[in-house]
Chains A and B, each alone.
Chain A
């Protein structure tokens, strides 16, 4: 329960070399941010996006020990719909990777604005040039008798709802108790009530207002929401307060203002929030309700800014996240000088929420204020729908949508931009003609915010679609749109469909291992094992709908079957991609490339001579040193392949397969003056052991002799780094191809043998669990480093021995395909040219 959310394992820290210091001192300005919540972290992100990493050395203080997480999603975590790991926005690693110093778990006491230093509770001081206060809010705890125990702590069983720690504590309590009272019938209270009820608790909501969500809804809307909430089985008490907590050792119940008592073993207080202003107060910065800022988000000290829920701008203190995003953008523009005149003019709070399963969207006012205001209401209590708009001088000044938010795109646009309204006002709320909805999405300006929770614009969604995301799920993964409260999901869907011009793929099949067989990988593997399916055609016959084979599924199945069955696999050449049929990579003119194995990048004069002779004999148009530390002979005719392999007498380097490829190495301790371990030998040994092992996607490894990382081990699927005293760090999930990602430290081990063993275990775990074509850089973050560590290092699932065994089976089944097929073709005409009349090669000869 005490795990650090988005934490980084011990021992991983940004590396500093003596060289760095010799390069001179850091001339960047010091930017210090107090508060590692949604506002603080977003400011840092926006600053970095504007190239601020070069201008500023950034330090962030956060009282919570965690990385930055999506607070909005706590209701989902409480409801058990979301795992806490999935709400991390910026992990500790993210900060390290971006050169931002995160001081998590460190509370700032006060700021000395004259000396320009920040004092923390751990007694340290940190100087700044520019300071940002983003301390957010805390739960407001209304006075009640008996709320606190003798030591001034909240009585056991009483909870606020603000942090992940609050949420964890509530989850633990929910597992043990039966009755909860929630104080507060606003957004937070209703979400908590609904989540707790989902855990099987009896829940009663006590709300001081005369209708639910009185901040957002008019009384009629509130009444309809009450119906919807009560139909879930939640009891609602309106216009009453809890005056007393029945104790004494822990919560036993509450007494309402009318004198009535309710039994309860949990009391959740969601009665509003208060800005956290202590730091500002103690530092002599002007505070009213919140920290007072001007249009440039500056406090009364010119080098101190405030953003987020702790800030008070033009008299407003906000309690939703959308203004946070706007403020962060303005502040980043100012700090980085991107736009020195940027100003924040307040946010018109238009919100879309999902409360207790009911869609709610509100903007502007919720009822008419002047006689001349037009007010249109559609109320359908039976369906739980209540819609209203307020129009003044032909402009939309307010709208409330409850239970049906289909018109939200159009209304938001009308509200934000003052676009003309239809003369038939009813069209604002219902579609009288079809197709109008689509027009709404099409007309929505690119920069309008679709997902308020994660600050995603329509343009970002369109870009994701253009960038290849073929379905709503992929777009949501990529942009995080819809991953907040979820209320914008239908709008996201409409935009994706509009942007993809109807070309959206089925989401359901996203979990299937291959498109032709409706099974996810674990089920597919189980079925293959149980039914003893040894060939791709047998798999189709047994498991595909109607037994139909599917061309694009064949390659993935071949890979999987080979892994499962090793040498018992019955191979079928038509089930292989051309590269695997002829063991070379097809080129644009139909020729192939030949990349012989050069283990660890270490070759010999004899080998080089042989390669040179072969290249001449077969008139190879290009001989190239690859990025994988070996030699590529490109533009080889298919029919020449077997003879060439024969002449080379070297095994295949597998440069064409979804398989283990290479191990890059550096010169290591043999020659390099910095070498701490024999990286070259270890690389060769790794390549010898794992050569040719097929896998869901390419596996590229590297071993380096010290953290200078000359062979780029930090960005490999498995990267091994010698760190001295015989120790080796093993990193996994790194990438420097289409995606750049630094690998995660899996473990530090103390012998080359241990590296070999752990590498094998990781690769086998990846082989058995990754989706087809999922590289380790997607796999590791998806599964989670913690989980992988538990499985591989602590054997939490008791499968380590089996992983070792399965890997050994694959290693034993290895045969060099060149040696084998050169001697005896696998099928008739395996190496016959496929474009007979054309003279080859057609690529220019260098």
Chain B
């Protein structure tokens, strides 16, 4: 039986909570903001299928441009254990965090694997600019 990080349906790693010095990025879902729009960058900054991290006001966000052209934005740090979500992999249904491979649905931010949900932010393109409401 091989033990690989990549093939497990449910991640093998429990949340790294208290006592770990690994990251100071807080886990858990980010708080909702007042909904203020911020221009964070240009559409071409985010290659198709990938994500990039930006700052929107006080918040760190990850913006994704899916292969069908649609845009999505989430909090930048994974609610599971602070992983860099912008480095994750995507398809049209989910975002997969690179650290422990929890998936999060674009539809509502929930995780089929059972992690806390990720905060989604409204995002749109305006004259080639990426506008995120936080």
Set A774, A775, A833, A842: member contacting B21, Cβ < 8 A: A842
Known A697-B4, A738-B3, A773-B2: A577·B89 in contact at CB below 8 Å = yes
Do A838 and B9 touch across chains, with their CB atoms under 8 A apart? no
User: Considering only CB atoms and an 8 Å cut-off, how many residues of chain B contact the other chain?
Assistant: 53
Interface residues of B in 1-36 (CB under 8 A from A): 1-4, 6-10, 12, 16, 21-25
Do A828 and B45 touch across chains, with their CB atoms under 8 A apart? yes
CB neighbours (8 Å) of B133 from chain A are: none
Query: A548 at the A/B interface (Cβ < 8 Å)?
Result: yes
Interface residues of A in 801-846 (CB under 8 A from B): 827-829, 832-838, 842-844
Closest-by-CB residue of B relative to A464 is B1
Shortest B96–chain A CB gap in Å is 5
Contact with A along B97-112 (1 / 0, CB 8 A): 0110101000000000
A445 to B13, CA, bound (A): 30
Do A835 and B99 touch across chains, with their CB atoms under 8 A apart? no
Set B21, B53, B60, B67: member contacting A843, Cβ < 8 A: B21
Do B67 and A549 touch across chains, with their CB atoms under 8 A apart? yes
Do A574 and B21 touch across chains, with their CB atoms under 8 A apart? no
Query: B87 at the A/B interface (Cβ < 8 Å)?
Result: yes
A549 to B95, CA, bound (A): 12
Shortest B28–chain A CB gap in Å is 16
Query: A382 at the A/B interface (Cβ < 8 Å)?
Result: no
Do A843 and B90 touch across chains, with their CB atoms under 8 A apart? no
A777 to B53, CA, bound (A): 39
Interface residues of A in 726-768 (CB under 8 A from B): 737-739
Closest-by-CB residue of A relative to B64 is A574
Query: A86 at the A/B interface (Cβ < 8 Å)?
Result: no
Do B6 and A773 touch across chains, with their CB atoms under 8 A apart? yes
Do A838 and B24 touch across chains, with their CB atoms under 8 A apart? yes
CB neighbours (8 Å) of B103 from chain A are: 551-552
Query: B52 at the A/B interface (Cβ < 8 Å)?
Result: yes
A468 to B49, CA, bound (A): 30
Contact with B along A586-615 (1 / 0, CB 8 A): 101110000000000000000000000000
Count of A-B contacts with CB under 8 A? 138
Do A697 and B21 touch across chains, with their CB atoms under 8 A apart? no
| Interface of A, helix, strand, loop or mixed by DSSP | loop
Do B12 and A468 touch across chains, with their CB atoms under 8 A apart? yes
CB neighbours (8 Å) of B91 from chain A are: 516, 548-551, 554
Do B60 and A586 touch across chains, with their CB atoms under 8 A apart? no
A573 to B44, CA, bound (A): 15
A842 to B22, CA, bound (A): 6
Shortest A671–chain B CB gap in Å is 36
A477 to B2, CA, bound (A): 12
A552 to B88, CA, bound (A): 11
Shortest B58–chain A CB gap in Å is 9
Do A835 and B50 touch across chains, with their CB atoms under 8 A apart? no
Set A554, A573, A778: member contacting B47, Cβ < 8 A: A573
Shortest B89–chain A CB gap in Å is 5
Do B67 and A537 touch across chains, with their CB atoms under 8 A apart? yes
Known A574-B47, A738-B3, A827-B50: A554·B89 in contact at CB below 8 Å = yes
CB neighbours (8 Å) of A775 from chain B are: 2
A787 to B64, CA, bound (A): 47
Do A835 and B21 touch across chains, with their CB atoms under 8 A apart? no
Closest-by-CB residue of B relative to A738 is B3
Do B23 and A588 touch across chains, with their CB atoms under 8 A apart? yes
CB neighbours (8 Å) of A829 from chain B are: 45-47, 52
20 A-B residue pairings within 8 Å (CB atoms): A468-B8, A478-B1, A551-B93, A574-B48, A574-B89, A577-B89, A590-B83, A658-B6, A738-B2, A739-B3, A773-B2, A773-B7, A778-B1, A829-B45, A834-B86, A835-B76, A836-B53, A836-B54, A837-B55, A843-B22
Residues of B bordering A, CB below 8 Å: 1-4, 6-10, 12, 16, 21-25, 44-55, 60, 62, 67, 76-77, 81-96, 98-99, 101, 103
